Structure 1
Amino acid sequence: MPYRWTSSSETTSELRLWPHNSLPAKGFAATVLAIFALATVPLIMLLGSVLLWGLLPFVLLAVAGIWWALQANYRSRRILEILTLSDADARLVRHDPGGKVQEWHCNRHWARPALHPDDGPVPNYVTLKGAGREVEIGAFLSEDERKALYDDLRARLRPA
């Protein structure tokens, strides 16, 4: 799952959430290389011809477009959410891809997770309520992961 609980002390635990990355760096390089190789196979017949130089820029442009699209996807998924739970406090910090940082803080006693099966922008939308605000958490996770996250949050925020 693209989230992990850690305990920094007996009284403090931390939840880190990030989007799932199905194409690692090696896979990215292999994909771009394979697309380039497959796109240049038809050009082998044109070796030594002036027509090769007319078609080669379009092949390179297509490969560059694929590379740019995959890089844009990586950039848009640089999201990190950190929920820190101590005995008294609950703090959620969200780092957006553009570098913007959003924070939410409340007394842990009043923090409550909520699951919205149909009301949110995604199915099984998870929010945290407290301090007069309701904030989303883990909206980038899959539907099953959001359900599991809600169950984890409910168990961790349950009063002792």
Structure 2
Amino acid sequence: MPYEWVTGQPERGKPAELHLWPYRSLPRKGFAAFIALTAGLLALPLIAALGTLVFWGLLPFLLAAIWGLWHAISRSYRSGEVIEVLRIDDDRAELIRRDPDGREHRWQANPYWVRVQIYPTGGPVEHYVTLKGQGREVEIGAFLSEDERKALAEELRAAFAAHR
């Protein structure tokens, strides 16, 4: 799952830390291999056209296709550079979200009063998970899949119960 309890399972008297990040099915190494394979396959039709004017007519379009693919996947990687860190101690819970542009959003509350909410419908995504406390409600793990959000909500409930 694209989240992990860094400090192990939460328990009373022991701080807990959870890291969440968007899932990437194509690692950076695979990205380079995919671009190379795509470039090679797009170059195959050019072999038949070597030494002709057709070669020079096709080349810009094939290069534009490779550049477009590279640009789209690179942009997808940049937008997925989000990380959420939840720290739970006996006297404080803190959620820090770092956006791809470097902005950081913070939320703090007393873990005794924090409530984990899950909205099966009506949120931006199905089974939307939020934390309520200190008069605010903040989302957590919106980039996770539906099943992962359900599992996360249960783990968060157990973690906050352990720190009450």
Query: Paired residues, what number?
Result: 160
Aligned mates of 2:137, 2:34 — CA distance in 1: 41
Superposition deviation, residue 73 in structure 1: 0.2
What is the aligned partner in structure 1 of residue 68 from structure 2? 65
What is the aligned partner in structure 1 of residue 44 from structure 2? 41
Residue range with higher mean Cα deviation, 41-50 or 89-98: 41-50
Superposition deviation, residue 7 in structure 1: 2.1
Please tell me the root mean square deviation across aligned C-alpha atoms, in Å: 1.4
The answer to whether the aligner puts 1:87 opposite 2:54 as a matched pair is no
Superposition deviation, residue 53 in structure 1: 1.4
Superposition deviation, residue 157 in structure 1: 0.6
**TM-score, normalisation: structure 1:** 0.96
**Which consecutive residues of structure 2, in runs of 5 or more, have no partner in the other structure?**
none
What is the aligned partner in structure 2 of residue 136 from structure 1? 139
**TM-score, normalisation: structure 2:** 0.94
What is the aligned partner in structure 2 of residue 3 from structure 1? 3
* 1:46-88 deviation line (CA, Å, top 9, x unaligned): 1111221121111011000000000000000000000000011
What is the aligned partner in structure 2 of residue 118 from structure 1? 121
Give % identity.
51
**After TM superposition, which residue ranges in structure 1, 4 or more long, deviate above 3 angstroms?**
none
The answer to whether the aligner puts 1:17 opposite 2:24 as a matched pair is no
Aligned mates of 2:123, 2:36 — CA distance in 1: 40
Which amino acid is the alignment partner of residue 157 of structure 1?
F
Secondary structure in 2 matching 1:27: helix
Which amino acid is the alignment partner of residue 86 of structure 1?
D
Superposition deviation, residue 30 in structure 1: 1.2
**Higher normalized contact order (CA 8 Å, seq sep 6+, divided by chain length):** 2
